[in-house]
Amino acid sequence: MNTKTTKQTVSRRAFLSGCAKSLGGATAAGLGVPALLAARDAPAASPAAASGPATAAAPVAGEYDVVVCGGGPAGFVAAVAAARGGARTALVERYGFLGGMATAGLVAPISVFNLNGRRVIGGIPWEFVEKLTAIGGAALDLPRGNVTFSPEKYKLAAQRMVLDAGVTLHLHSYVTGCRRRQDDGRALTHAVIENKNGAQSLAARYFIDCTGDADLALRAGVPMQPAPENLQPASLIFMLGNVDTDAIPPNRLRHGLPGSQDTDFRAVLQELSKTQKIPLFGGPWYNSTLAKGVVLVNITRAAANMADNRDATAAECRLREHVHVFVDLLRKHVPAFRDAVLLTTATQTGIRETRRILGAHTLTGDEYLAPTDFPDTIARGCHPIDIHSGNNTRQRADRLQKPGNVPYRCLHAPGFPNLLVAGRPFSADEVASASVRVQASAMSLGQAAGAAAALCLPDNRDVSRLNIARLRETLTQSGAIFD
């Protein structure tokens, strides 16, 4: 397999330009995004600077040891790990619930805990699956170790886990910036958030960016990876009711066994597209919510940089139109969906790929697939290298022979002493990221980052100087698996 597919051409400018535009001029100008971008993009996109309260003036709404930004799979697990490590921990989330793509994006299943029938991922991610199962919200699909789940119970289980650990939640709060220490421009002192109270700041000694899009890291001035020429597409997932779920083959609803894609309907769509205009599609894949008659459908697909607000807005509108086209086609061509009704679309279009930080180490596809035995391995992944095309209906899904390793150095950037990044935006090329981005491994990165921040606390340690042996020992004690 050729893993040297990273194309560092472009798009770097276009991609970062999109990033800076979506952040608003205040960020670009004041918080360390390269001056080139600030100068070029600020005039076109500076409403926050013009109308929002100044970042420096945001009153302090809480003082913590660790602030985790983003309550998706990586973020809520990071918060639990930090709090269990003894840190006074806050978790900031823009929605009113936790789960990120799993709940707001209706992305299912949780992939994957097993390789070749053997469990690869343990620790807090696995504990979460057990808790979700205990409330009737999850079912493990063997041998792959995908987890089918109820999105509503996912929200509940994640919330309980976080609150039980003693984490303070700041929901409905959007991370918009940060403040840095005067004497050392790169150490963060506050995360700045916006909510109905206006701008607020949260003081902390360590920060973990789990926003999926590296929002905090970008605002802090962390350099980003060159973007691939084509980002993986965005997909708006929808939920259908009144489906004859008994008529759908089990492996198409529960992804434990191969063959989850509805190749029959795919063939119909391919045939139809020869004579009429069919929106771009992927899969299609159906996912159970564990409720009879209810199915999540992953079929829509749009090439979009979801970290650019104009692109994201266009994608949301376009895909909403496409959802209704596909619902009609499903009703017409797939007997199980004949009487289906659209219950809801996801709260937001699902995002597979946006920014990734340029960390102390960038995990490459070659290293991940070898797999390289890093001295500072703190997480593993076993999902295929899963790359969807934004321009056509294809998907590259290369199975791993062995679990891949992720070193701790991919979670921090040189010179940023108290910032960790976990989940989708960790430092990797597009190949390694295409496996690690999925939920189980994203959660593992979150656990490692949360535990690391707590371990740094006693002597105010720079995150890059953490005692790795202690971190691995802490992770192993809580069930993480490294062999």
Q: Please report, as ranges, the residues that interact with ligand FAD according to CB under 6 A.
A: 69-75, 92-95, 100-102, 104-105, 107, 109-111, 174-175, 210-213, 215, 235, 298, 350-352, 423-424, 437-439, 442
| Calpha distance 219→35 (Å, rounded) | 13
Q: How far is the CB of 274 from ligand FAD (least distance, A)?
A: 26
**Coil, strand or helix at 249:** coil
Q: Which two tokens stand for residue 447?
A: 């656990």
Largest CA distance in the chain: 67
Q: The tokens 């990120």 sit on which residue?
A: 100
* CB-closest chain residue to ligand FAD: 72
Instruction: Tell me how far CA of residue 10 lies from CA of 165, 226, 315, in angstroms.
Output: 44, 8, 21
Give the residue with the Cβ less far from ligand FAD, 373 or 428: 428
Q: How far is the CB of 465 from ligand FAD (least distance, A)?
A: 25
Give the residue with the Cβ less far from ligand FAD, 89 or 111: 111
Neighbours of 451 (CB within 10 A): 30
DSSP string, 90-124: EEE-SSSSS-GGGTTS---SB--SEETTEE---HH
Residue 80 is classified by DSSP as: H
Give the residue with the Cβ less far from ligand FAD, 160 or 338: 160
Q: How far is the CB of 339 from ligand FAD (least distance, A)?
A: 26
The pairing of beta strand 174-180 with beta strand 168-170: unpaired
| Calpha distance 34→476 (Å, rounded) | 39
Q: How far is the CB of 347 from ligand FAD (least distance, A)?
A: 9
DSSP string, 228-243: PSSPPPBB--EEEES-
Q: How far is the CB of 149 from ligand FAD (least distance, A)?
A: 10
Give the residue with the Cβ less far from ligand FAD, 352 or 380: 352
Q: Which two tokens stand for residue 288?
A: 């159970």
Are the CB atoms for 190 and 158 separated by under 8 Å? no
Give the residue with the Cβ less far from ligand FAD, 71 or 371: 71
Neighbours of 40 (CB within 10 A): 15
Burial class (CB in 10 A: 0-12, 13-18, 19+), 127: middle
Q: How far is the CB of 357 from ligand FAD (least distance, A)?
A: 12
Give the residue with the Cβ less far from ligand FAD, 390 or 417: 390
- 410: part of which helix (H) or strand (E)? none
Q: Which two tokens stand for residue 191?
A: 């995360």
Say how many residues make up the chain. 483
Q: How far is the CB of 292 from ligand FAD (least distance, A)?
A: 21
Q: How far is the CB of 435 from ligand FAD (least distance, A)?
A: 10
Give the residue with the Cβ less far from ligand FAD, 141 or 367: 141
Which residues, in sequence order, are bridge partners of residue 445?
none
Q: How far is the CB of 93 from ligand FAD (least distance, A)?
A: 5
Give the residue with the Cβ less far from ligand FAD, 74 or 448: 74
Give the residue with the Cβ less far from ligand FAD, 380 or 424: 424
